[in-house]
């Protein structure tokens, strides 16, 4: 049934929960989510994605799903990472609004109405902000640095990109492709696709069971992923700007160094062939040439593929009916075409080829001609 939730007419809410070695937490989290949803009289489903747990998490999830039909589980054969777990959960979600939460009980389900209120006000994606964190400084300090760098480079003004507590409209997830470690940059990816991003402060609780699955290595992975995200969002349609810009910087430095040495040579200030500055200037010029070449190649590839990939998303139309072809529709079209080919083949009967006797060219029939005088 449709339920009026904070101004939203929502038939079903999906909650995707990646879990990795959280056997003690999944039952408690399920009870907390159920209590909040029952209070709102809201239909919901919980999708647990077991990311290759090595403890009793699979057993605990199997018991929950067997006792409750609205609790669904996806179990990976091994640990594939949080991005893969979220992608699998998004593919299985049936709700109009999709939440993501961590399974470690640090996200408080009582905050769900605040997310729905932000969506009702017009947001497509709502990210949680752990403004008071109950984590050690070796996690909070690197997180602050990471959030500041990502916010400045991506033009997405969020205080907490690492918070796993988020809410999405289902149409936003249809435009999302996750792989690697890109789950940290979901708001950035959707922002550059035209979706509206909002942020709400959330209650962050201390971990009760287990231990954190992330270490200092995530900073280095995040830095590399950030460069990839920037190239695929901000500079996706203009690779020459980023590579050409770097090439112009290196080229300017090299040109200045070589110009300085040229002036010294003209005024007779001594030989310049043994100066390290000469090698430095030549290196800068060569580096600039390589960057410009890469940028031009990227621009060429982008122009060739621009007509094959749609890089925009549409929120609404008026007096225009868009055709949306799903995989099922394409399969139906192929089956219909195959049936028509079989029908045409059944009606067609091959005609025997007429054989012609070879003409005897050895004898020529004399022809009579009449001349006119």
Q: pLDDT, tens digit, for every residue of 330-349?
A: 665 676 677 777 777 776 66
pLDDT at 314 > cutoff 50: no
Residue 166 burial (CB < 10 Å; 0-12/13-18/19+)?
buried
List b or e across 214-234, with b for residues whose CB sees 16 or more CB atoms inside 10 angstroms.
eeeebeeebeebbeebbeebb
Q: pLDDT, tens digit, for every residue of 287-298?
A: 999 988 887 887
The pTM of this model reads 0.66
Top pLDDT among 241 and 14 is at 14
Following DSSP, what letter does each residue of 204-255 receive, concatenated? B----SS--S--THHHHHHHHHHHHHHHHTTTTT-HHHHHHHHHHHHHHHHH
pLDDT at 193 > cutoff 70: yes
Instruction: Give bridge partners of residue 18 from the DSSP assignment.
Output: 49
Residue 110: name the closest of 34, 2, 7, 11 by CA: 34
- How far is the C-alpha of 82 from the C-alpha of 276, rounded, in Å? 49
Q: pLDDT, tens digit, for every residue of 67-104?
A: 888 999 998 888 888 888 898 899 889 999 999 999 98
């Amino acid at each position: 049934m449709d339920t009026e939730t904070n101004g939203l007419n929502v038939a079903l809410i999906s909650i995707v929960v990646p879990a990795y070695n959280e056997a003690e937490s999944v039952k408690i989290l399920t009870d907390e989510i159920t209590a909040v949803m029952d209070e709102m009289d809201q239909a919901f489903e919980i999708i647990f994605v077991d990311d290759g747990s090595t403890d009793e998490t699979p057993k605990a999830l199997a018991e929950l799903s067997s006792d409750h039909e609205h609790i669904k589980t996806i179990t990976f054969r091994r640990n594939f990472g949080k991005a893969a777990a979220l992608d699998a959960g998004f593919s299985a979600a049936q709700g109009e609004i999709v939440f993501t939460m961590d399974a470690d009980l640090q996200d408080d389900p009582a905050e769900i109405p605040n997310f729905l209120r932000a969506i009702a006000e017009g947001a497509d994606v709502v990210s949680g902000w752990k403004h008071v964190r109950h984590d050690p400084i070796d996690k909070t300090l690197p997180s602050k640095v990471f959030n500041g760098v990502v916010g400045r480079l991506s033009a997405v003004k969020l205080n907490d990109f690492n918070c796993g507590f988020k809410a999405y409209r289902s149409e936003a997830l249809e435009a999302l492709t996750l792989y690697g470690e890109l789950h940290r940059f979901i708001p950035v990816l959707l922002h550059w696709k035209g979706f509206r991003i909002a942020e709400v402060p959330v209650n962050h609780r201390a971990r009760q069971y287990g231990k954190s699955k992330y270490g200092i290595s995530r900073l280095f992975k995040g830095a590399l992923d950030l460069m990839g995200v920037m190239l695929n969002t901000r500079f996706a349609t203009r690779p020459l700007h980023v590579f050409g810009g770097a090439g112009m910087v290196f080229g300017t430095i090299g040109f200045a160094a070589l110009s300085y040495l040229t002036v010294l040579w003209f005024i007779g200030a001594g030989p310049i062939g043994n100066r390290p500055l000469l090698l430095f200037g030549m290196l800068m010029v060569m580096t600039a040439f390589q960057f410009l070449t890469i940028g031009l190649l990227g621009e060429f590839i982008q122009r060739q593929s621009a007509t094959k990939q749609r890089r925009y998303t549409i929120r609404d139309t008026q007096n225009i009916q868009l055709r949306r072809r799903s995989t099922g529709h394409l399969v139906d079209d192929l089956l219909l075409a195959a049936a028509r080919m079989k029908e045409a083949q059944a009606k067609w009967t091959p005609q025997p080829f007429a054989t012609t006797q070879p003409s005897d060219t050895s004898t020529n029939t004399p022809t009579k001609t009449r001349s006119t005088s």
